[in-house]
Amino acid sequence: MQHEAAVTAAYAAMLVDGNLVTNLLSIGKKTKKTEPDPPKPAIVGGLNTHDVFEGDASMTRADAFFGDIPSFNQTLFDQMVDFSNRYGDGYYNLTVAAEYRYHLIQQSIVTNPNFSFVFPRYFTAYAESVLTLNLLVDGRDNTTVLGGRKLDMATALSFFRDSRFPPDFHRASLPTGNDGFEEIMAAHPVRPGRNLDGKVNNYVVGEPTPSELGECGLYNHFVEKVVALYPNPKGVLRRNLIINLHYFYGIFDGSCEEAFPYGRL
């Protein structure tokens, strides 16, 4: 994974889902192993926290409204296979990623009355579409995403269903990140929003798009979300927030002015 992509994933996850008192993060559900917790409204729920990293319109997991979020969903995977057959000659490629991502969003709009597609899940949804292509393809296929990189369905099944590297798998030959992200978003533009009033097919736009926010806007938008979770931190919590926010800022360094909502050390 490229440095910027790794920093984004690690520190964004820690800041919204981790425990900033103990500097520990659960890769699953909330656990006592990360306590003592900071005061609410901090989430401290781990990566399984709904509508943050985990979210609706997942590639192979059901929406939270339908329950059983963690389990592999064969029906969704079958849809992924179908789209790969229709648009990728049996492989998951950039075209399939764009078509399947749009299908998943539209499917959730018409079936899930609680469908939510806002930041940061808005980003992680598109990111999972390209990271699947960038990280799960055997490294001996050294083409770039835009140059024809493709994922076979047996390899996809091993990762998505079994959480296993398939036999004789080689990691990506070069560090990779969100290559193809903008192309997938541009293929079928969808604005961030949610179904309102507990009704299906009632999708209402609620936030600006990434292009409207711009790079600095995205950074400031994320900082505002973190501040909402930690409105008045003190002691080690404040210290760790300052440190983690500074590391997160590293990917924007030079293009944005750093924010210091909790002051400086």
Contacts of residues 208-213 at CB distance under 8 Å and 24 or more positions apart, as own/partner, are 210/122, 210/123, 210/185
- Model confidence pLDDT, tens digit, residues 123-181: 899 999 999 999 999 988 878 888 899 999 999 999 999 999 999 999 887 888 889 99
| Whether residues 224 and 198 fall in one domain | no
Distance CA 87, CA 110 (A): 23
CA 203 to CA 193: how far, in whole Å? Answer: 7
Tally of CA atoms within 13 A in the half-sphere of 36 that contains its CB: 4
- Both 42 and 136 in one domain: the answer is no
- How many structural domains comprise the chain? 2
pLDDT more than 70, % of the chain: 100
Query: Domain boundary residue among 207, 231, 248?
Result: 207
Judgement on whether residues 72 and 19 belong to the same structural domain of the protein: no
pLDDT in tens, 22-60: 999 999 999 999 999 999 999 999 998 888 878 999 999
On whether both 94 and 104 belong to a single domain, the answer is yes
Q: Do 80 and 203 share a structural domain?
A: yes
Residues 246 and 256 in one domain: yes
Are residues 152 and 27 part of one domain?
no
pTM: 0.92
Domain residues for the domain of 18 are 1-54+215-264
Q: Which of 161, 176, 207 marks a domain boundary?
A: 207
